[in-house]
Structure 1
Amino acid sequence: MKLIEKRKLSYSVTLPFSRYLRQYDRGIKLPICYDELHDYVEALPLYDAQGQDTLWSTLCYAPAVRRPLHDALLEIYSHLRAPGSGLHVRHLEVDRIDLCLYANTSPFRVRVINRLNDNFDYFYIKKADMSRIFGLELEHLLSPNRISYLYSGDTLIEEHIYGIPGDVFLEKKLDQDGASQVRLAKEFVKFNERCVLRLLGDMHAANFVIDITMDFEQNFYRIRSIDFDQQCFEPSLKVYLPQFFKQNFPYVKLVVDHLPIESVHQYQQEERAQFFRRTRSEILRLEGLFTALEGSTLAPHENILGLRSQLADYYESRSFLQCDSMTSLIKLILKLIETKALPTGFKRPIPGLENTMGLRVD
């Protein structure tokens, strides 16, 4: 089932949103911009350790370009990892610059290596898009995770999020590392709820990672988004529910096989309670964020109309029909969480999958 039919539109960052980003040290003056990295002379296919094409290309730059470019990238890395600290970078070097042409945003990936111990780290350089940055900010404020990113003009810098890609985990780890399937099923329910509450779409298995923490008895799992391109854009509610993507069906099957519907509802309630706590602790910053985005365009108007009617049915609240922007939809969801007005569970089980999270996976 194809949930996303058209390529996402990109929206430039508005002046009020840019001011908000500078206020919270996200907006800074960068030494280079996205377009300058296109000044390469050759692109070579990048293969993984098994000899498979990664669909990334490693870039080669002329000597006159390479040195100043690498110095600028190390300066950006210093701002990203240790802002304001004057991070000592003389023992660091840019080991590789890769380009991904198949992705919507054609991101650059920079690998930085520590010459003293061969440890390495990555960061990404992308075209700035307002809804993507909005998604990063909501991830930082409303999810269990913190995330570093920087913005300047038409350029966005994102840190690398470590973990096992969701599709790779299904293929290589699910049955091999003694994974606790009950714990993984619980985390998928919570992740599913986090995505729909903050309207983060397109979370199929290749767009999230599994972060594993070893416990003294079993492993603990957290699912983390790594792609925020589809924040508040699509008109279909299914796009914001990971359970609907066919790539995620093995995760949904874990829920079906291991969790009774009472447990599913319990974990949804727990995630909503955590959303409420995070909202209260970040209330001033969230107010500033929504004010900065007031009047901004994050999606076509017809997408807002389509989504608000589906949310009205989903959450059994006609108030959604009065919303005229994507941000107002999220604000209403947060308000309903605060007043405990969201329904518990879902009222329309689908024959054949009654034990899932209440909706069918096509």
Structure 2
Amino acid sequence: MGDSSILFKKITYPINQALSDYLERYDRVSKVPISYDDLLRFSGGISVYDKNGQDTLWIRVYYNEFESAEIDLTLKKIYSLLLSDGNLGILKFLNVDSIDYCTFGNSKPFRIKVRNILNDNYTHFYIKKADASRVYGLELEHLLSPDKINFLVYKDTLIEEHIMGIPGDVFIKTLLSDCTETEKAQIAKEFVKFNERCMIRLLGDMRSYNYVVVPTHDFDQVVYKIRAIDFDQQCYEGNFKIYRPQFFKENYSLVKLVKDKLQDSSIDQYKDEERSALAKRIHSAENKIKRLLQIMSDDNIAPKENQMQLQMELYRYTNDMNFKNAKSMGYIMKAAFEFIIRNFKNVNY
């Protein structure tokens, strides 16, 4: 499987003025004041267990009576901004059922559960400390993946919608073996495409618990898609293998599925299909991506030694001098997109 270990905790980088202006320009800035630090002032909490009685490492927190009402109202307003264009008329139908705090990982998010009291439907969203590379990752996911994603930023606080699906590690452990042979072949195809997409857009650390498997029923079959849910490692690590899900031991079952179910010619075909699709998405969102990459190129979102290691590994992988001459992680990202467009779509970028 190769060595794809992440040795050190990721550094958090602030959102600079240029990125803040970009977010404002494209309606990514929350009109409701919200602070991650305010949510940290909880009075206490209890451990959250799953249906099998296992500790999830999330804590259900509560606040004193003086802060609780204000926090609830703010979270309902955030929900309306994120999911219904800020319509405050729905607030009277909403209830904040729970606020959970994650005790592990880089971002230590709060998970908010909001329920519609009229029909008992509920939705989750997350509140985290804003980190520039995570914001770049979310925006690139929105622009370049087959799926759109909602998120908002308020100063140093990030609000993300919940991405629905079966956590990859849970799917591999409990459901993969029950899939039909046809479904397994389709999952193998999707993993090849997911692997290629992460590699090209330099989204790292896609171990099985950082993506979800999304089943969709279509006539007489179930079609599976794979979606990233964690964007902490956008353009950060220096080891190129970190950006290739195939090298994580947690994904071994899916890698084996690819080897068992797909011929080399099919794997190459699916890689080309994904690269062509990415080239078309880059072209269709050309102005936004140019603006984002320019901001990214001037930003500092990774240690210099990581950048230098990655650019040389990519140069050896592609023989493209643009990687060797890159001056920042943003320039490496720009070189990757230019490489894809030159090789997979006849467009000028």
Q: TM-score, normalised by structure 2?
A: 0.95
Counterpart Cα distance in 1 of 2:317 and 2:332? 13
What amino acid maps onto 1:311 in structure 2?
A: L
- Which of 324, 336, 339 is matched with 2:339 structurally? 336
What amino acid maps onto 1:293 in structure 2?
A: M
Q: What CA deviation, in whole Å up to 9, does each residue of 1:219-264 have, x standing for no partner?
A: 1111000000000000000000000000000000000000011111
- Which of 63, 78, 81 is matched with 1:79 structurally? 81
- Which of 253, 273, 277 is matched with 1:274 structurally? 277
Counterpart Cα distance in 2 of 1:149 and 1:87? 21
Aligned CA distance change for structure 1 residues 87 and 145 (closer, same or farther; 3 Å): farther
Counterpart Cα distance in 1 of 2:344 and 2:52? 51
Q: Which residue of 1 aligns with 2:218?
A: 215
- Which of 234, 237, 240 is matched with 2:240 structurally? 237
Is 82-91 or 293-302 further displaced after alignment? Answer: 82-91
Q: Which residue of 2 aligns with 1:360?
A: none
Conserved 8 A contact 2:217-2:223 = yes
Whichever structure has more helix as a proportion of its residues is 2
Counterpart Cα distance in 1 of 2:202 and 2:165? 22
SS in 1 for 2:213: strand
Aligned CA distance change for structure 1 residues 24 and 87 (closer, same or farther; 3 Å): farther
What amino acid maps onto 1:297 in structure 2?
A: N
Please report how far the alpha carbon of residue 169 of structure 1 lies from its aligned counterpart in structure 2 after TM superposition: 0.2
Q: What CA deviation, in whole Å up to 9, does each residue of 1:290-323 have, x standing for no partner?
A: 2233321010111111001110111232331001
What amino acid maps onto 2:337 in structure 1?
A: L
Q: Which residue of 2 aligns with 1:166?
A: 168
Counterpart Cα distance in 2 of 1:46 and 1:134? 31
Q: Which residue of 1 aligns with 2:59?
A: 57
SS in 1 for 2:78: helix
Is 96-105 or 23-32 further displaced after alignment? Answer: 23-32
Counterpart Cα distance in 2 of 1:80 and 1:214? 27
Counterpart Cα distance in 1 of 2:155 and 2:32? 9
Q: Which residue of 1 aligns with 2:208?
A: 205
Q: What is the root-mean-square deviation of aligned Cα atoms in Å?
A: 1.4
* Alignment of 1:288 onto 2:291: yes
Please report how far the alpha carbon of residue 182 of structure 1 lies from its aligned counterpart in structure 2 after TM superposition: 0.4
* Alignment of 1:88 onto 2:90: yes
Identical residues among aligned pairs (%): 44
Q: Which residue of 2 aligns with 1:36?
A: 38
Please report how far the alpha carbon of residue 3 of structure 1 lies from its aligned counterpart in structure 2 after TM superposition: 1.2
Please report how far the alpha carbon of residue 103 of structure 1 lies from its aligned counterpart in structure 2 after TM superposition: 1.5
Counterpart Cα distance in 2 of 1:90 and 1:222? 36
Conserved 8 A contact 2:4-2:239 = no
SS in 2 for 1:88: helix
* Alignment of 1:19 onto 2:4: no
Q: Which residue of 1 aligns with 2:250?
A: 247
SS in 1 for 2:13: coil
Counterpart Cα distance in 2 of 1:85 and 1:64? 26
Counterpart Cα distance in 2 of 1:317 and 1:16? 29
Please report how far the alpha carbon of residue 2 of structure 1 lies from its aligned counterpart in structure 2 after TM superposition: 5.5
Counterpart Cα distance in 1 of 2:46 and 2:66? 20
Please, which runs of 5 or more residues in structure 2 have no aligned partner?
none
Conserved 8 A contact 1:78-1:87 = no
Q: Which residue of 1 aligns with 2:139?
A: 137
* Alignment of 1:126 onto 2:128: yes
Q: Which residue of 1 aligns with 2:198?
A: 195
Please report how far the alpha carbon of residue 86 of structure 1 lies from its aligned counterpart in structure 2 after TM superposition: 4.1
Please report how far the alpha carbon of residue 12 of structure 1 lies from its aligned counterpart in structure 2 after TM superposition: 0.3
* Alignment of 1:305 onto 2:308: yes
SS in 2 for 1:147: coil
SS in 2 for 1:80: helix
Please, which runs of 5 or more residues in structure 1 have no aligned partner?
343-362
Q: How many residues are aligned here? A: 342
- Which of 112, 115, 125 is matched with 2:114 structurally? 112
Q: Which residue of 2 aligns with 1:315?
A: 318
Conserved 8 A contact 1:80-1:159 = yes
Is 225-234 or 285-294 further displaced after alignment? Answer: 285-294
Counterpart Cα distance in 1 of 2:123 and 2:43? 24
Is 25-34 or 196-205 further displaced after alignment? Answer: 25-34
Q: What CA deviation, in whole Å up to 9, does each residue of 1:127-148 have, x standing for no partner?
A: 0000000000000001111000
Q: TM-score, normalised by structure 1?
A: 0.92
